[in-house]
Structure 1
Amino acid sequence: MVSAISILLLAAELTGAAADSEYNKDNPDPIIAEIEKVGSESKTVVDLSIDAAGHVARCMVIESSGSEYLDQAACKTFSEKAKFAPKLDPVTQKPVGYLYRSRIIWRLEE
Protein backbone atom coordinates (compact mmCIF):
# COMPACT_ATOMS: atom_id res chain seq x y z
CA MET A 1 0.00 0.00 0.00
CA VAL A 2 1.26 3.43 -0.91
CA SER A 3 1.69 5.63 2.14
CA ALA A 4 3.56 8.61 0.71
CA ILE A 5 4.57 10.22 -2.54
CA SER A 6 7.95 11.80 -3.01
CA ILE A 7 8.42 14.33 -5.71
CA LEU A 8 12.14 14.81 -5.88
CA LEU A 9 13.12 18.09 -7.42
CA LEU A 10 16.80 17.87 -8.15
CA ALA A 11 17.58 21.55 -8.52
CA ALA A 12 20.46 22.64 -6.33
CA GLU A 13 19.92 26.32 -7.05
CA LEU A 14 16.37 26.48 -5.71
CA THR A 15 16.02 28.84 -2.78
CA GLY A 16 12.45 27.82 -1.96
CA ALA A 17 10.65 24.53 -1.49
CA ALA A 18 9.26 23.54 -4.86
CA ALA A 19 7.25 20.44 -3.98
CA ASP A 20 6.69 17.67 -1.49
CA SER A 21 3.24 16.29 -0.84
CA GLU A 22 1.94 13.64 1.51
CA TYR A 23 -0.39 10.92 0.26
CA ASN A 24 -3.72 10.69 2.06
CA LYS A 25 -5.60 7.46 1.29
CA ASP A 26 -8.91 9.22 2.04
CA ASN A 27 -8.17 11.89 -0.58
CA PRO A 28 -6.33 10.20 -3.48
CA ASP A 29 -4.04 12.37 -5.53
CA PRO A 30 -4.21 12.09 -9.33
CA ILE A 31 -0.41 12.30 -9.43
CA ILE A 32 -0.25 8.88 -7.74
CA ALA A 33 -2.44 7.31 -10.42
CA GLU A 34 -0.24 8.84 -13.12
CA ILE A 35 2.97 7.54 -11.52
CA GLU A 36 1.43 4.08 -11.24
CA LYS A 37 0.41 4.30 -14.91
CA VAL A 38 3.87 5.26 -16.24
CA GLY A 39 5.84 3.24 -13.71
CA SER A 40 7.89 4.11 -10.68
CA GLU A 41 11.08 6.10 -11.17
CA SER A 42 9.85 7.92 -14.26
CA LYS A 43 11.32 11.36 -14.75
CA THR A 44 10.58 14.69 -16.34
CA VAL A 45 13.43 16.92 -17.52
CA VAL A 46 12.65 20.61 -17.93
CA ASP A 47 14.47 23.73 -19.08
CA LEU A 48 13.52 26.74 -17.02
CA SER A 49 14.00 30.33 -18.14
CA ILE A 50 14.76 32.26 -14.96
CA ASP A 51 14.19 36.03 -15.01
CA ALA A 52 16.44 38.62 -13.35
CA ALA A 53 14.32 38.46 -10.17
CA GLY A 54 14.80 34.68 -9.85
CA HIS A 55 11.30 33.64 -10.93
CA VAL A 56 10.46 31.04 -13.57
CA ALA A 57 9.47 32.94 -16.71
CA ARG A 58 9.08 29.85 -18.92
CA CYS A 59 9.16 26.08 -18.52
CA MET A 60 9.81 23.70 -21.41
CA VAL A 61 9.69 19.89 -21.13
CA ILE A 62 12.88 18.44 -22.65
CA GLU A 63 12.27 14.80 -21.67
CA SER A 64 8.77 13.53 -20.92
CA SER A 65 7.90 11.16 -18.09
CA GLY A 66 5.43 9.53 -20.45
CA SER A 67 2.55 11.37 -18.80
CA GLU A 68 1.43 14.79 -19.99
CA TYR A 69 -0.21 15.30 -16.58
CA LEU A 70 3.08 14.75 -14.69
CA ASP A 71 5.01 16.92 -17.13
CA GLN A 72 2.52 19.76 -16.71
CA ALA A 73 2.54 19.29 -12.92
CA ALA A 74 6.33 19.71 -12.93
CA CYS A 75 6.14 22.97 -14.88
CA LYS A 76 3.24 24.25 -12.79
CA THR A 77 5.06 23.52 -9.53
CA PHE A 78 8.24 25.26 -10.67
CA SER A 79 6.32 28.22 -12.09
CA GLU A 80 4.20 28.74 -8.98
CA LYS A 81 6.55 27.82 -6.13
CA ALA A 82 10.20 28.00 -7.17
CA LYS A 83 12.46 30.95 -6.47
CA PHE A 84 16.00 30.83 -7.81
CA ALA A 85 19.08 32.73 -6.73
CA PRO A 86 19.71 35.65 -9.09
CA LYS A 87 22.73 35.60 -11.39
CA LEU A 88 24.81 38.72 -11.86
CA ASP A 89 26.22 39.99 -15.13
CA PRO A 90 30.01 39.81 -14.73
CA VAL A 91 30.50 43.28 -16.22
CA THR A 92 27.60 45.34 -14.86
CA GLN A 93 26.99 43.29 -11.70
CA LYS A 94 23.24 43.64 -12.35
CA PRO A 95 20.86 40.65 -12.14
CA VAL A 96 20.25 38.90 -15.46
CA GLY A 97 18.03 36.07 -16.67
CA TYR A 98 19.42 32.61 -17.35
CA LEU A 99 18.51 29.05 -18.35
CA TYR A 100 18.40 26.22 -15.81
CA ARG A 101 17.78 22.51 -16.49
CA SER A 102 16.21 20.32 -13.83
CA ARG A 103 15.19 16.70 -13.48
CA ILE A 104 12.12 15.61 -11.52
CA ILE A 105 11.96 11.98 -10.47
CA TRP A 106 8.45 10.70 -9.83
CA ARG A 107 8.60 7.93 -7.23
CA LEU A 108 6.05 6.30 -4.92
CA GLU A 109 7.24 5.23 -1.50
CA GLU A 110 5.59 2.41 0.39
Structure 2
Amino acid sequence: MRGRVRVAVLVDNTGEPRRCVVLQSSDEALLDQSTCRLMLEKARFDPARDRKGRAVAGVYRSPRVRWMFANGD
Protein backbone atom coordinates (compact mmCIF):
# COMPACT_ATOMS: atom_id res chain seq x y z
CA MET A 1 0.00 0.00 0.00
CA ARG A 2 1.22 3.47 -0.80
CA GLY A 3 -0.12 6.96 -1.20
CA ARG A 4 0.32 10.66 -0.55
CA VAL A 5 -1.88 12.65 1.79
CA ARG A 6 -2.07 16.38 2.47
CA VAL A 7 -3.88 17.66 5.56
CA ALA A 8 -4.80 20.86 7.35
CA VAL A 9 -4.64 20.92 11.15
CA LEU A 10 -6.47 23.43 13.32
CA VAL A 11 -4.03 24.44 16.08
CA ASP A 12 -5.32 26.18 19.20
CA ASN A 13 -3.65 29.12 20.95
CA THR A 14 -1.58 26.76 23.12
CA GLY A 15 -0.09 24.92 20.13
CA GLU A 16 -2.23 21.80 20.51
CA PRO A 17 -3.71 20.28 17.34
CA ARG A 18 -7.52 20.13 17.64
CA ARG A 19 -8.93 19.08 14.28
CA CYS A 20 -7.59 17.56 11.08
CA VAL A 21 -9.06 17.70 7.59
CA VAL A 22 -7.76 15.86 4.53
CA LEU A 23 -6.97 18.36 1.75
CA GLN A 24 -5.62 15.85 -0.74
CA SER A 25 -6.58 12.21 -0.35
CA SER A 26 -4.37 9.23 -1.06
CA ASP A 27 -7.50 7.36 -2.22
CA GLU A 28 -6.79 4.95 0.65
CA ALA A 29 -9.06 5.68 3.63
CA LEU A 30 -6.67 3.96 6.05
CA LEU A 31 -3.77 6.21 5.03
CA ASP A 32 -5.90 9.38 5.19
CA GLN A 33 -7.28 8.46 8.63
CA SER A 34 -3.86 7.42 9.93
CA THR A 35 -2.30 10.70 8.83
CA CYS A 36 -4.91 12.72 10.73
CA ARG A 37 -4.76 10.45 13.77
CA LEU A 38 -0.98 10.79 13.97
CA MET A 39 -1.10 14.56 13.49
CA LEU A 40 -3.60 14.90 16.34
CA GLU A 41 -1.76 12.49 18.65
CA LYS A 42 1.90 13.34 18.01
CA ALA A 43 2.29 16.76 16.39
CA ARG A 44 3.05 19.82 18.52
CA PHE A 45 3.22 23.37 17.28
CA ASP A 46 4.22 26.82 18.36
CA PRO A 47 0.96 28.79 18.28
CA ALA A 48 0.36 31.41 15.64
CA ARG A 49 0.78 35.02 16.77
CA ASP A 50 -1.29 38.09 16.03
CA ARG A 51 0.21 41.50 15.26
CA LYS A 52 0.60 42.23 18.97
CA GLY A 53 2.45 38.97 19.57
CA ARG A 54 -0.44 37.23 21.34
CA ALA A 55 -0.90 33.51 20.81
CA VAL A 56 -3.92 32.74 18.60
CA ALA A 57 -5.43 29.71 16.90
CA GLY A 58 -4.20 28.98 13.40
CA VAL A 59 -4.12 26.40 10.64
CA TYR A 60 -1.12 24.28 9.63
CA ARG A 61 -1.20 22.96 6.07
CA SER A 62 1.11 20.01 5.63
CA PRO A 63 3.23 19.17 2.66
CA ARG A 64 2.23 15.86 1.09
CA VAL A 65 2.89 12.98 3.47
CA ARG A 66 4.22 9.99 1.55
CA TRP A 67 3.30 6.53 2.79
CA MET A 68 5.08 3.38 1.53
CA PHE A 69 4.84 -0.05 3.04
CA ALA A 70 7.00 -3.02 2.11
CA ASN A 71 4.90 -6.01 1.07
CA GLY A 72 7.09 -8.47 2.95
CA ASP A 73 8.47 -10.25 -0.16
Say whether 1:74 aligns with 2:35. yes
**What is the SS of the residue equivalent to 1:106?**
strand
Cα separation, 2, equivalents of 1:75 and 1:60: 7
Q: 2:50 matched to which residue of 1?
A: 89
The alignment's TM-score, normalised by the length of structure 2, stands at: 0.84
- Give the superposition deviation at 1:46: 0.5
Give the aligned length.
70
Query: Larger Cα Rg: Structure 1 or Structure 2?
Result: 1
Q: Shift of residue 57 of structure 1? A: 1.0
* AA at the equivalent of 1:56: P
| 1:56 correspondence with 2:29 | no
Query: Which runs of 5 or more structure 1 residues have no equivalent in the other structure?
Result: 1-34
- Counterpart of 1:100 (choices 53, 60, 66) is 60
Instruction: Mark the runs of 5 or more structure 2 residues left unpaired by the alignment.
Output: none
Query: How much identity, in percent, do the aligned residues show?
Result: 35
Runs of 4+ in 1 over 6 A off after TM superposition: none
TM-score, normalization by structure 1: 0.58
For the aligned residue pairs, the C-alpha RMSD in angstroms reads: 1.6
Q: Which has the higher strand share?
A: 2
